[in-house]
Each structure stands twice: as C-alpha cells, then as structure tokens.
Amino acid sequence: MVILNWNGRRWLEQFLPSVLENSPKADVVVADNASSDDSLSFLAQQYPQVRTIRLQENLGFCEGYNQALRQVEATYYVLLNSDVEVTPHWLDPMVELLEKNPQIAACQPKIKSFQQRTHFEYAGAAGGFLDAYGYPFCRGRLFDTLEEDRGQYDDVRPVFWATGACLFIRASAYWEAGGLEKEFFAHMEEIDLCWRLQNLGHQIYYQGQSTVYHVGGGTLPKANPRKTFLNFRNGAALLYKNLSDEELTKVFYTRLALDGVAATQYFLKGEWKEVKAIWQAHRTFFAEMDYWKRKRQENSVKKKTTQLTGWSQQSVVWQYFVKGKKEFSTLDVPDGAALPA
C-alpha cells in the first residue's frame, strides 16, 4: 500500500493511524513528492516502522506513483490518498474480490465523505462511469450532487473506472497498461488507466462491502484554476488518446464544444480565472498534439478488445441540467452498459 504525500503532514498525522491499525496484513509505504513541510521528519519521529520513498522533485500524482511503485514488490498495489480514513477489515473484501476473479485488474471500495459521513464522496463514490460525451460520473454522485448512502450501492459490480483516491490494482496489470499517464500530472488519470486496462481485456470493479472516508481536495481545493486547467486539458487528452477512429469525431469534437459552453457560463458569472484556465487547457492540449498522437497510436496497437463496460449512451449533462435527474438510479445505465471502443 502506497500513500503519496506532498506537504501533507496534517493528513498523515490525522489518518495514518487508522491505516496502520486497520491494515495489519499490508506493507504501508509513504512516497514523498519532495515536500517542503516537515512530513518526513514527522514520519521518522512518530512512525519509524513505516517505509518512506523520497522523490527528488514533485512529480505529481501520476509520475509520483509510477516512480514509487517501481520500488515496491507486491502482487497487488493499493494507491491510497493521504486524506482517507479506512475502516476495520476494509482490506479483506477487496483482496477476496481480486483473488476470486483474475479478470479483475482494478477495484475500489465505497467512498464516503469524511465531513458528511452519511453521504458519498465526490471522488469515486460507488464506482465510476462515462457518459456519451466522456463526462465522468459515479453511482452516488452526479456532478455536484452527492447521494445519501441508504445501502443502495452495497453490491459488487463492474464499472468503467475506479477512483485513484483508493485504488486496488494488480501490479502485473498496472505495468502491462504502462502505469499512470505522466503527462496528466493529476486528475482523471485513473479513468485513463482503467480505460487502457479495459482495452487489454481486463475488468474494473466496485466492491460495496468495503468502506473508506475521504476528505477530498486535500492537495488542490475544488474551486481552483489549476484544477480546472488539469480537468479540461486531461479531459480532452483522455478522449483523444483512447477513442476509436469511429467515435472520435462524434464524441471528441462535441466535447470540445461543450467545454466552450462551460467557459461561457464562467464568463457570465464573472469567474475570469476559470475562463482563462479552460482556454489555457485547450491551447496546451493542441500544443502537445504530437505527444498525444503517439499515445493514441500506442493504445491502438495494444488494444485487445472493442467492448467497454460502464459507458452510458446518454448525455448525463442533458439528464442532469435539463431534465433534472440528480441520482444515478434515475438514469438508464444498465449493468454491463457497453459502447464499441
């Protein structure tokens, strides 16, 4: 289990005790992304038994994990955010799921809000999906609407993507897929990884019998132009590098147009930094086009299947903002929903 830390001493102090107490069978490693706070001295003094990996610069979530995991020998990796509180016996259902089904490459537990413990949390909730135009959404979370946990997602089922806040993944599958996309730096990287895993014939699952609590926004707060930039730049790159030729025109360019609608909404609200972040995201994406073309070609060569589980053919944007559907159960997303890749 690897916790990637960047200036997160307060999170380590608050949540590492629950990880150590409730994960007796796991080797816990903290990989430090060149923190400038006292994270490392705190760990050395308070938790000398915890192995630390020191990265020489802040490599971001993606390359930070890639570099750290290269130094970890394990059958299964657990990528765990530093701002996550785990619960007793949380590991057992996750490992049992992976042990019973070798086709499952990655899975996640139920992600609930640390601040509002009766409700799901934004980053992953009860498993991730994509809508017809590549917008990510979750069971238990549509855009900014978080559902109360009423036991409606206590099941075990395939999904499109599993959250990077608490990601269980086979080490062999992680490296077969090439690890996390380093150019993403952070945000939407787990969706890209799970997409590539599905292309290789693997399955992604949600296990509702395990629960963790996530603070969210521990590194970048939700309302932050840097986060807006990464989400829009990475959203464009995610679709461009993974969509088939058949779907590229239909989905990718419609998504870019919808990004323009989002920028217009920010403009009308006077949120100029957000408008600038979206403009810079698109400009940067097209400036990096040679790189994304290479990645697209690599993905195409490695692809072994043309079916993706968890891709809804609905526009969740339309369902949510126009038709007022605020909960996953109101959408038409059948088990095993698939779209040709």
pLDDT at residue 333, rounded to an integer: 66
325-332: average pLDDT: 89
Minimum mean pLDDT among 82-86, 182-186, 223-227, 236-240: which range?
A: 223-227
Given a cut of 70, is residue 340 above it in pLDDT? no
Question: 334 CB contacts (<8 Å, ≥6 apart)?
Answer: none
In residues, how long is the chain? 341
Is pLDDT at 304 greater than 80 in this prediction? Answer: yes
Q: Is the pLDDT of residue 47 over 90?
A: yes
Examine the pLDDT at 220 and tell me if it is beyond 60.
Answer: no
Fold classified for 2-214: Spore Coat Polysaccharide Biosynthesis Protein SpsA; Chain A (3.90.550)
The C-alpha torsion from 181 through 128 and 141 to 76, rounded to 10°, is -80
Using a CB cutoff of 8 Å and minimum separation of 24, what contacts does 331-338 make? 331/142, 333/129, 335/157, 335/158, 336/158, 336/309, 337/129, 337/309, 337/310, 337/311, 337/312, 337/313, 338/307, 338/308, 338/309, 338/310, 338/311
Tell me which residue of 16, 22, 24 sits closest to 32, measured CA to CA. 16
Domain boundaries, the chain: 2-214, 225-309
- CA proximity to 6, closest of 185, 175, 211: 185
What is the model's pLDDT at position 217?
Answer: 66
pLDDT of residue 338: 39
**Which of 79-88, 243-252, 301-310 is the most confident on average?**
79-88
pLDDT recorded at residue 336:
45
- What integer best gives the mean pLDDT of the chain? 93
Token pair listed for 86: 């785990």
Task: Please check the confidence at residue 255 and state whether its pLDDT lies above 60.
Answer: yes
- Give the residue-averaged pLDDT of 296-307: 90
Query: What band does 313 get if pLDDT is binned at 50, 70 and 90?
Result: confident
| Averaged pLDDT, 65-92 | 98
> What is the mean predicted confidence (pLDDT) over 148-168?
97
Per-residue pLDDT at 307: 86
Are the CB atoms for 122 and 100 separated by under 8 Å?
A: no
How confident is the model at residue 20, as a pLDDT?
Answer: 98
